[in-house]
Amino acid sequence: MTIEENKNNVYQAVKAACEKANRSSDEVNIIAVTKYVSSDIAEELVKTGIKHIAENRVDKFLDKYQALNNYDLTWHLIGTLQRRKVKDVINLVDYFHALDSVKLAEEIQKRANHTIKCFLQVNVSGEESKHGFSPEELDTVLDQIKNLDNICIVGLMTMAPIDADDQELDVIFSQTNELRKSIQEKKIKNVPCDQLSMGMSRDFDEAIQNGSTFVRIGSAFFKENGD
Ligand SMILES: *Cc1c(COP(=O)(O)O)cnc(C)c1O
C-alpha cells in the first residue's frame, strides 16, 4: 500500500464510523501521528492533504515542526511532557493532549505566550501503567487550573488498554464522554470541555461511536500491506 492509499482507507473508515454513529464527518478531526516515520515520509503524508499532525515526544515534535513549517498544519503534542521541556516546545503547540498534573499546568501557564488548548488526560480504565487523572481527582484539579489564563481545557483525552475488547472499549469511551459532559456543565470560563481526544488506529470506530472529536491515528497511515 502507498501512503496515499492508506490515507484514503483511513478517511473512508472514519467516514463510515461517523455514518454508523449518525454523526457528520466534519465533527471528527483526523490527527496523523508521525512518530514512526522520518520527516520525509511525514511530508509525503502531509502532501495528501492532512491538516492535523502529532508527535508524542518533544525532540521529534521539534524535528517535524522544522521540516514541515512551510505547510499550513495544526500541531498536536500528544505524549507525556516533562516540566523542564515545556519551555522548548509549548509555544509551537496548538493542542496539548496529555495534561496530567497541576504542576505541569502551572509550568505551561508560566512559559506560554498565548492560550494553549489542552486536553486533561484521564485514566478511566484504572490501568497502572497509564498516565492521567483519575475521574475522582478532576474536580480538585479543575479548581486549581481554572485561574490559569494561558490554559484552555478544550476536553478530555483517554487511551484504552491495548488488549481491551469491543465491550471494554465501549465502557471506557462512554464513561469518558459522560465525564466530559459533567465538566462542560460546570461552565467554567477557561474549561469549555466540548472536545474528546480518543481513538487510535485499532479503536477509532468505538471512539467515534462514543463522541470522539479528535482521533489520533498513526500506524494505519504507514502500514506496508494488509496488516
Ligand atoms: C502512537 C500514539 C497514537 C497512535 O497510535 P496508533 O495505534 O499507531 O494509531 C495515538 N496516541 C498516542 C498518545 C500515541 O502515543
Q: How far is the CA of 186 from the centre of ligand 1 (A)?
A: 30
224 falls in which pLDDT band (50, 70, 90)? confident
Looking at domain 3-221, what is its CATH homologous superfamily? Answer: Alanine racemase (3.20.20.10)
Q: How far apart are CA 119 and CA 59, in angstroms?
A: 21
| Cβ of 160 below 6 Å from ligand 1 | no
Is a pLDDT exceeding 80 seen at residue 55?
A: yes
Q: How far apart are CA 78 and CA 76, in angstroms?
A: 6
Ligand 1 atom 6 nearest Cα:
218
Burial of 41 (0-12, 13-18, 19+ CB in 10 A): middle
Q: How confident is the model over 53-61, as a mean pLDDT? A: 98
Q: Residue 97 CA: which ligand 1 atom is closest?
A: 13
Q: How far is the CA of 30 from the centre of ligand 1 (A)?
A: 12
Pocket test for ligand 1, best of 55, 78, 198, 205 (most atoms within 8 A of CB): 78
Q: Residue 78 CA: which ligand 1 atom is closest?
A: 13
pLDDT tens per residue, range 68-96: 999 999 999 999 999 999 999 999 999 99
User: Which pLDDT value is given to residue 139?
Assistant: 96
Buried b (16+ CB within 10 A) or exposed e, 43-53: bbbbebebebb
| Cβ of 219 below 6 Å from ligand 1 | yes
Q: How confident is the model over 137-150, as a mean pLDDT? A: 96
Is a pLDDT exceeding 90 seen at residue 225?
A: no
**How do the domains of the chain map onto residue ranges?**
3-221
